[in-house]
């Protein structure tokens, strides 16, 4: 195993499985690029990869992973692979088909974690990820209950297609409903989380239920923030000062802050130097007051509001309550 891989701590999930606290995000890592990105990441010490059918690049991610296993760089049981079921695959039997589709694309017999990608069932129209009506509004499927999707997830786990099951973009009430009406507590809730959206209330609530938070868009997707006239977290003076103090990048400070709060984190980069630097951060620790100073940057500012195509009108839109 490479030096960094041995330094990355694990989080123990409520079903006993273990997840490396840092993983590589693969959204918008385009086909033609992502295969090499994953190779670089494995060499850099990443063992946790965050994938999704929706990202339309799982065949390439899987190719790089299988090559690394074949070449003896890594063993399958050292890897933690996540994939997700998109909301147009929520109807009866469809989550299983979606999981099998991802496994076929990845070329793997099982994943480590399967997530419900969003709590907002959409109509199935030709497997279109964004089924819309003539006016461009998303078509909801209000006949589907999340608990039925979750019970199918329990079966998918029993069938051995995934080792663990969890959710993404769920609020606390939606998770509570799953817990009350099934025998499985989700292991993870994967949500947007960065210095502008510290998610402290949701984090504390999840901890009280034995659920780990995973932070997506941990760099607030860098450029997008600037487009919305907000300073990128990488340019916030407090973060830049800490980067300078520890001799690391501003991104490393944002990622390290998450790990020190017990939050797993999945930064995406397609740039070799950044891929390496984003995981090489176990030679320093932020002090408690530095962690607090970053917590204090919170403004409950959300990049991924999920208002596209009117999805904020869905009865399950997760951001209608504080957390």
Ligand X SMILES: NC(=O)c1ccc[n+]([C@@H]2O[C@H](COP(=O)([O-])OP(=O)(O)OC[C@H]3O[C@@H](n4cnc5c(N)ncnc54)[C@H](OP(=O)(O)O)[C@@H]3O)[C@@H](O)[C@H]2O)c1
Catalytic residues: 55
Stretch near ligand X under the rule CB under 6 A, chosen from 58-66, 93-101, 121-129, 265-273: 265-273
Is residue 130 a contact residue for ligand X (CB under 6 A)? Answer: no
**Binding-site member from 137, 271, 285, 308 for ligand X (CB under 6 A):** 271
Is residue 189 a contact residue for ligand X (CB under 6 A)? Answer: no
Is residue 172 a contact residue for ligand X (CB under 6 A)? Answer: no
Site string for ligand X, 206-245 (x = CB under 6 A): ----------xxxxxxxx----------x-----------
319-205-21-111 Cα dihedral, nearest 10 degrees: -70
> Please, what is the minimum distance in Å from the beta carbon of residue 210 to ligand X?
20
**Binding-site member from 267, 279, 309, 311 for ligand X (CB under 6 A):** 267
Residue 295, token pair as written in the block: 């917590």
The residue among 89, 176, 172, 99 whose CA lies nearest residue 130 is 89
> Please, what is the minimum distance in Å from the beta carbon of residue 26 to ligand X?
5
Between β-strands 264-265 and 10-12, what pairing exists: parallel, antiparallel or unpaired? unpaired
Residue 34, token pair as written in the block: 């992502």
Is residue 259 a contact residue for ligand X (CB under 6 A)? Answer: no
Is residue 96 a contact residue for ligand X (CB under 6 A)? Answer: no
Write out the E strands in the chain: 10-12, 18-20, 24-25, 48-50, 80-85, 111-116, 162-168, 188-192, 212-216, 264-265
> Using CA of residue 267, residue 268, residue 272, residue 274, what is the dihedral sign?
negative
Bridge partner list, 19: 11
Is residue 268 a contact residue for ligand X (CB under 6 A)? Answer: yes
Is residue 26 a contact residue for ligand X (CB under 6 A)? Answer: yes
The residue among 57, 55, 166, 144 whose CA lies nearest residue 93 is 144
Is residue 36 a contact residue for ligand X (CB under 6 A)? Answer: no
> Please, what is the minimum distance in Å from the beta carbon of residue 190 to ligand X?
5
Is residue 98 a contact residue for ligand X (CB under 6 A)? Answer: no
**Binding-site member from 304, 310, 312, 323 for ligand X (CB under 6 A):** 304
Is residue 88 a contact residue for ligand X (CB under 6 A)? Answer: no
Half-sphere exposure of 127 (CA within 13 A, CB side): 9
Stretch near ligand X under the rule CB under 6 A, chosen from 20-28, 132-140, 147-155, 315-323: 20-28
Site string for ligand X, 47-86 (x = CB under 6 A): ---x------------------------------------
The residue among 97, 13, 27, 19 whose CA lies nearest residue 61 is 27
Residue 163, token pair as written in the block: 């080792």
Is residue 144 a contact residue for ligand X (CB under 6 A)? Answer: no
> Please, what is the minimum distance in Å from the beta carbon of residue 266 to ligand X?
5
Residue located via tokens 């300073």: 231
Alpha-carbon distance of 40 to 44, in angstroms, equals: 6
On the 0-12 / 13-18 / 19+ scale of CB atoms within 10 A, 224 is middle
| Site of interaction with ligand X (CB under 6 A) | 25-27, 50, 117, 168-169, 190, 216-223, 234, 249, 251, 266-271, 274, 277-278, 304
């Amino acid at each position: 195993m490479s030096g960094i891989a041995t330094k990355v701590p694990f989080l123990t999930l409520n079903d006993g499985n273990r997840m490396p606290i840092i993983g590589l995000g693969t959204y918008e890592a385009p086909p033609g690029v992502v295969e090499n990105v994953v190779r670089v990441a494995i060499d850099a010490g990443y063992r946790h990869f965050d994938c999704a059918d929706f990202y339309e690049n799982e065949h390439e991610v899987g190719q790089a992973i299988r090559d690394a296993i074949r070449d003896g760089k890594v063993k399958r049981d050292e890897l933690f692979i996540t994939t997700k079921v998109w909301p147009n695959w929520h109807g009866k039997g469809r989550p299983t088909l979606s999981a099998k589709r991802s496994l076929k694309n990845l070329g793997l017999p099982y994943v480590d974690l399967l997530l419900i990608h969003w709590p907002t069932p959409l109509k199935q129209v030709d497997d279109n990820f964004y089924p819309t009506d003539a006016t461009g509004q998303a078509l909801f499927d209000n006949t589907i209950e999340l608990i039925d999707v979750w019970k199918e997830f329990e079966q998918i786990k029993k069938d051995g297609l995934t080792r663990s099951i969890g959710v993404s973009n769920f609020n606390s009430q939606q998770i509570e409903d799953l817990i009350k009406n099934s025998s499985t507590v989700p292991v993870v809730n994967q949500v947007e989380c960065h210095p502008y959206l510290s998610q402290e209330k949701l984090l504390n609530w999840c901890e009280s239920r034995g659920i780990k938070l995973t932070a997506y868009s941990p760099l607030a997707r860098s450029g997008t923030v600037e487009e919305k006239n907000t300073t990128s977290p990488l340019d916030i003076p407090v973060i830049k000062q800490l980067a300078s103090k520890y001799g690391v990048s501003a991104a490393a400070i944002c990622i390290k802050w998450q790990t020190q709060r017990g939050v797993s984190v999945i930064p995406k980069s397609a740039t070799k130097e950044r891929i390496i630097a984003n995981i090489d951060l176990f030679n320093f620790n932020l002090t408690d007051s530095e962690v607090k100073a970053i917590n204090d940057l919170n403004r409950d500012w959300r990049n991924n509001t999920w208002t596209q195509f009117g999805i904020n009108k869905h009865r399950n839109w997760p951001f209608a309550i504080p957390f």
